[in-house]
Structure 1
Amino acid sequence: MRVSEAAGVLQHRQFRWFFASGVTNTLGSMMTPIALAFAVLSVDNSAGALAKVLAVEMTANIVFVLFGGVVSDRLPRRLVLQTCRIAMAIVLGALAALMFTGHATIGWFMLLGGLAGGISAFSMPALQGIVPQLVPEGQLQEANALMSFVRNGSNFLGPALGSALVVAGGPQWAFVIDALTFVASSLLLLPVKLPPPAKGATSFITDLRTGWGEFRSRTWLWVIVLAFSVLNAIQSGTIGVLGPVIAKSHDSLGVRGWGLVLSAEAIGMLLMSLVLLKIRLNRPLLSGMLGVSLLSVTIVLLGVDPVTVPLMAAAVVGGAGIETFGTGWNVAMMQNVPGDVLSRVVSYDMLGSFVAIPVGMVLFGWLATIAPTETVLVGAGIVYAAVALSTLLVPSVRTLRQRSEESATEAALAPTD
């Protein structure tokens, strides 16, 4: 399959508008994380202040994600996504106004960060639920790989562009630009026509139970989510917390070298998203879990011999593995979970996968105080690989195949031309 053929998913008019909306939103948002960090530090130059803001944002996301899943299955998903993007534009506009007027405080950052996290808890389940309504089953991998390519490219370029903008005009201008792109991306969704959601008079609790039933009825699904509650905790604690510590204490790596390692991981993800436009993952979960296990090499190497170039090579491979899993996982979910409950199942996936991230950050920070950091990293890398590969003991994880034929419900998809 040539790239030009794979990108044929763009022949679907509805998906083209959806993709254009996503690209616009991503290009604006790629600068915001680094702008937010510098904005917080300009008010209170301490790691503790930044940690508080980020912790509130993540906590709000975790608390509201199940509500987001129910709402995204009950209401038109396009409307949910548009509302979330307009709400995010308001939050970013408020951040910019506080910075321009000199009234920004850590309290304001925490409040607005919490609002942003809550909004994301609604937008992410809606976003995942829309894609299979726009393209045939046989093109879900191409659609996800194409969106990943844009996202990964932005992750690679975003920090550099965001830093330049912060230096040139201050973080408030990044907030302004991102707010405008959220508005534009919301407007670009107007031509996207989706089938109406299933009508029902069930209660919120009943909807949650239905989603939970769909989630736990698929062994491959809950096994991998359970595994990622551990994997994400390890990754956040090792790469997110101990990585910078090792970088500062080893001249063979250093802060600049650590930045190169993180960029190398983004390059690996970017390159793999291109590969996945050409090569089909016949067994998406098998390929994905084998791929994600490769991140363990980076973690172990960080503890054994933290040298920039070898770590960069390992990070490229690890990034490619992460992207393989991400695309394979999305395809497996979109093909095997009914569309009318997909957002709720996605919300359970997000809750289970993300809830341990703050725990991992705290846990590994504590472990580094009672044991040599190098020993902690090597042990964590071994556990990471063991947990990832142990999922392959489950037959449904090994054997789940991607359906290449168009689904029987293709006729119900939004019209294309």
Structure 2
Amino acid sequence: MKIPKTFASLGFRNYRFLWFSTALANSGQYAFTVAASWLIFSLSNSTALVGAAVFATMIPGVLFGPIIGVLVDRFDRRRLLSIALFFNACNTGCLALLGSMGAVAPGGVIASAFFLGISFNLQMTCTNAIMPDLIPKTALFNATALQGSVQHGAGFLGSALASPLLVLVGPFAVFSLCFLLYAAAGMQSLRIQTNQTPHAQSGTLRISSLFRPVIEGIVYMRKTPILALLMVMVGLHCLLTMAYTSLLPQFIRDDLTADSGIYGTLMMFIGLGAIVGNLSTASISTPRGQGILYIVMAIASGLSLVALGLTHTPLFAFIVGLTVGGSQAVFMAINLSFVLQRASDEYRGRVASVNFITASGAMAVGNFLYGSLSQTIPPKINMFITGGSFVVAVIVLLLISPTLRSFYQKSVLAKKKQVSSAV
């Protein structure tokens, strides 16, 4: 049976295992975020502590990302991926067990989020670096779009599973669900077979041998300016349009006058938007079409966050949430595709790690900062300011950067072909 063009990459056996593993693991990540954020807010009534939890999840990408990038380049990526997933299963399982005994405080949840962030960083770096080993390069855009549908769209499944458990049973039932999802993801990862040849001198790991490859990766990226531009774009995007998670509990309580059920449902709609957005664009095959979509989704992600801040009822928040999730996920998928297309295999782990560091670091700082300032700057005003600022930033970059404009402009070679055919 012929596979539809939208799902072409799923025709490759090993990629299917990676895709299902990512779907399960990221559903666990979103379910954890829903339960941890609401639990901390319920125990402390502090948006700042919610921001600290999100910060703790994302800051390990900045602290350990360079070293993780080197490990991913030097050792078996599939094995490292499995280790990360099973570690997450143990982490969330322990949190569920301690919670059932009434032995969890906000500080304990934040500590669990920090360790989850370390393994999540390893998981995502391995996932992004391993994709080109499983599929032809011509299918890479389709594969990253499908990955985006579950990396960001897993918010739909994770929130859909977590919301009723959160309302009917409590957050510790959600942590038990996370354990099951991560364990299942780890089992899927064990079935992946790759042709990767790790670039390692030996199997011995020495701290002194890690820093030189980090410097080499930085030098490589400096010599590839288009990679630097893509890192700037993803950093600004994550700082200004995706660092709103810590604001949602207060936004839902104060502006939508709703409870935890609405919180989980809004996360579900944001995830659904990510799925629909990525699947509807996965079949775009021309570089120019991808470039045009990249710019459009960048602007749409800023405007949709502004619109979310202007909503006053759950129904309208759900509708806008679809556009928030869709535009953000499509932008991130295309950015990742552009990065992986331009990174050589030898440096791919380090480049993927820097991409993750930039994204997670920006979101960590943004969530911590916005959560801390939430009493001074209400969530809806924050969304309006940050979303609008990103739209302005994209327009400025379009005016000053020929490289960014080249993403959607016809190439010189294509123009010459058109002229010669006309003659």
TMscore range, shorter length: 0.7 to 0.9
**CA 1:3–1:270 in 2, change beyond 3 Å: closer, same or farther?**
farther
Kept in 2, the 8 Å contact 1:246–1:306? The answer is no
Q: 2:295 aligns with which of 289, 293, 300?
A: 289
**How far off is 1:384 after superposition?**
1.3
- Counterpart among 382, 386, 404 of residue 397 in structure 1: 404
Q: CA offset at residue 164 of structure 1?
A: 1.3
1:199 equivalenced with 2:200 (yes/no):
yes
Measure, in 2, the Cα distance between the counterparts of 1:70 and 1:108.
30
Q: What SS does structure 2 have at the residue aligned with 1:125? A: helix
Check conservation: 1:88, 1:179, Cα contact below 8 A: yes
Instruction: Quote the residue 1:90 is aligned against.
Output: 90
Report deviation, 1:95: 0.8
Report what 1:411 is aligned to.
Answer: none
2:11 corresponds in structure 1 to: 11
1:155 aligns with 155
RMSD: 3.4
Q: Hey, what does 1:349 align to over in structure 2?
A: 355
Give the match for residue 119 of structure 2. Answer: 119
Cross-structure match for 2:278:
273
Shift of 1:28: 4.2
Q: What residue is the counterpart of 1:320 in the other structure? A: 326
- Contact preservation (8 Å) 1:28, 1:178: yes
C-alpha deviation, 1:49, in angstroms: 4.2
Distance 1:373 1:162 in 2: 24
> Do the aligned residues in 1 keep the contact of 2:37 with 2:53 (CA within 8 Å)?
no
Shift in CA distance, 301/192, structure 1 to aligned 2, threshold 3 Å: closer
Q: CA deviation at 1:332?
A: 1.2
Cα distance in 1 for partners of 2:156, 2:55 equals: 24
Per-residue deviation at 1:276? 1.9
TM-score for both structures, normalised by structure 1: 0.81
Provide the secondary structure at the position in 1 that maps to 2:200. coil
How many Å separate the matches in 2 of 1:345 and 1:389? 26
- The corresponding residue for 1:382 is 388
Distance in 2 (alpha carbons) for counterparts of 1:372 and 1:101: 36
Shift, 1:23, TM fit: 3.2
Q: Distance in 1 between matches of 2:122 and 2:326?
A: 28
Instruction: Give SS of 2:59's match.
Output: helix
1:215–1:289 distance in 2 versus 1, CA, 3 Å = farther
Residues 24 and 289 of structure 1: CA distance in aligned 2, closer, same or farther (over 3 Å): same
The separation in 2 between residues aligned to 1:85 and 1:120, in whole angstroms, is 8
Question: Superposed, which structure 2 residues align to 1:18-417 within 5 Å?
Answer: 18-40=18-40, 44=44, 46-194=46-194, 195-200=196-201, 203-236=209-242, 239-240=244-245, 253-255=256-258, 264-283=269-288, 284-301=290-307, 315-361=321-367, 363-364=369-370, 378-393=384-399, 394-400=401-407
How far apart are the structure 2 equivalents of 1:30 and 1:242?
16
Question: Relative to 1, partners in 2 of residues 1:216 and 1:307: Cα closer, same or farther, differing over 3 Å?
Answer: farther
Residue 389 of structure 2 aligns with an amino acid whose one-letter code is V
Alignment check: 8 A CA contact 2:40 2:50 kept: yes
Q: Deviations over 1:295-314 (max 9, x none)?
A: 23234445667576666655
Paired AA for residue 180 in structure 2: L
Q: Is the 8 A contact 1:231 1:387 kept in 2?
A: no
Cα distance in 1 for residues equivalent to 2:247 and 2:39: 24
Q: Specify whether residues 279 and 174 from structure 1 end up closer, same or farther in structure 2 by C-alpha distance, changes over 3 A only.
A: same
Please give the per-residue CA displacement for 1:246-276, whole angstroms capped at 9, x wherever unaligned.
66555xx544788776655434322222212
The 1:218/1:63 distance shift into structure 2, 3 A limit, reads same
Q: How big is the shift at 1:370?
A: 6.7
Shift of 1:166: 2.9
Residue 405 of structure 1 corresponds to none
Alpha-carbon distance change, 302 to 146 in structure 1, aligned in 2, over 3 angstroms: closer
Summarize deviations over 1:210-256 as a string: whole Å, max 9, x none.
Answer: 1112222222221232244333222256x446666666555xx5447
Shift of the 15–130 alpha-carbon distance from structure 1 to 2, 3 Å rule, reads same
Return the offset for 1:71: 0.8
After TM superposition, give the deviation of residue 132 of structure 1 in Å.
0.5
Aligned-partner Cα distance in 2 for 1:376–1:108: 28
- Structure 1 281/255 Cα, relative in aligned 2: closer, same or farther at 3 Å? farther
Write the letter of the residue equivalent to 1:197: P
How big is the shift at 1:137? 0.9
**Residue 228 of structure 2 aligns to which amino acid in structure 1?**
W
- After the TM superposition, which of the residue ranges 66-75 and 156-165 deviates more from structure 2? 156-165
In 1, distance between residues paired with 2:362 and 2:153? 27
* 1:139 aligned partner, one-letter code: A
Separation of aligned partners in 1, 2:237 and 2:121: 21
- Secondary structure of the 2:345 match is coil
Write the letter of the residue equivalent to 1:198. H
Percent identity, please.
Answer: 21
State the SS of the aligned residue for 2:241. helix
Instruction: Give the C-alpha shift of residue 144 in structure 1.
Output: 2.1
CA displacement 1:185-221 (0-9 Å, x = unmatched): 2232233222221233792121001111222222222
- Seen in structure 2, the aligned counterparts of structure 1 residues 247 and 176 have a Cα distance that, compared at 3 Å, is closer
Contact in 1 for aligned 2:51/2:370 (Cα 8 Å): no
TM-score, structure 2 as length reference: 0.80
Matched AA of 1:274:
L
1:285–1:329 contact (8 Å) kept in structure 2: no
Deviation, structure 1 residue 369: 6.7
Shift of 1:321: 2.5
Q: Which amino acid aligns with 2:284?
A: I
1:349-408, CA deviations, whole angstroms, 9 ceiling, x for partnerless residues?
A: 22233323344345556777777987765554432112123333423333348xxxxxxx
Matched residues in 2 for 1:321 and 1:170: separation? 31
Alpha-carbon separation, structure 2, partners of 1:142 and 1:164: 33
Distance 1:270 1:3, change over 3 A: farther
